[in-house]
């Protein structure tokens, strides 16, 4: 049952949720600084693809879930951006150190099993001065909301493909050695969505040179 759910039911549910205007409105501003060689981890159903700046002509992606990528193919087919697919998890990236100018993560850090390993890999493959562009949902600063996030995360992991409601996004990024840029950093609830799923964190984190 779990396998059938993840293959046939979860992909369209995620596609619809990730295309919701209440959260997709944040994608373009987050992706606007993307430059150079770009890697997106957790490509999912390709919801970011139409929001990249026109200057990004080639995009490398990692996505371990074949069912999600199957739904992304229609967006890839319509895009003028070349998409190079690596069907694997971000926890073990097959790239040389200091390979990318930009790494993108949107609504991905919640569902990676070993998120610390994935972020260490992001740090490794970024060039000195390279940037992580992120848009993630996570742990609310409100104690009451956070309490419910902790309670409901075990259920959410089952119905949401491993999604955690309660990950402290900024702390995780900084723990990997990336420096969050205060000028680009934002936290807010997405409008008209339940607070347990809508605390959004976005911005730019850089790999310091030297």
Provide mean pLDDT across the span 67-89.
92
pTM of whole model > 0.75? yes
pLDDT (tens digit per residue) in 163-191: 999 999 999 999 999 999 999 999 999 99
- So what's the pLDDT on residue 42? 96
β pairing state of 100-106 and 126-137? parallel
pLDDT band at 8 (very low <50, low <70, confident <90, very high): confident
Provide mean pLDDT across the span 84-93.
95
- So what's the pLDDT on residue 38? 98
**What fold does the segment set 2-206 form as a domain?**
Rossmann fold (3.40.50)
CA distance 109 to 127: 21
Residue 74's alpha-carbon distances to 11, 47, 63, in angstroms, are 14, 11, 16
Residue 1 has pLDDT above 80, yes or no: no
β pairing state of 38-41 and 126-137? unpaired
- So what's the pLDDT on residue 210? 63
Domain borders along the chain are: 2-206
CA distance 7 to 10: 7
């Amino acid at each position: 049952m779990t396998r059938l759910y993840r293959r046939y039911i979860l992909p369209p549910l995620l596609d619809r949720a990730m295309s919701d205007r209440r959260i997709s409105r944040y994608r373009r501003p987050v992706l606007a600084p993307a430059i150079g060689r770009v890697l997106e981890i957790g490509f999912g159903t390709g919801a970011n693809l139409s929001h990249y700046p026109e200057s990004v002509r080639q995009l490398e992606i990692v996505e371990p879930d074949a069912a999600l990528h199957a739904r992304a193919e229609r967006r890839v087919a319509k895009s003028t951006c070349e998409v190079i697919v690596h069907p694997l998890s971000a926890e073990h990236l097959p790239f040389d150190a200091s390979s990318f100018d930009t790494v993108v993560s949107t609504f991905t850090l919640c569902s990676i099993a070993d998120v610390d390993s994935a972020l260490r890999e992001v740090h490794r493959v970024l060039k000195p001065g390279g940037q992580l562009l992120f848009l993630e949902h996570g742990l609310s600063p409100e104690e009451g909301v956070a309490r419910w996030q902790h309670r409901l995360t075990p259920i959410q992991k089952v119905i949401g493909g491993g999604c955690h409601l309660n990950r402290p996004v900024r702390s995780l990024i900084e723990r990997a050695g990336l420096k969050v840029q205060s000028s680009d950093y934002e936290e807010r609830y997405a409008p008209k969505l339940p607070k347990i799923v809508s605390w959004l964190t976005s911005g730019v984190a850089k790999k310091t040179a030297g």
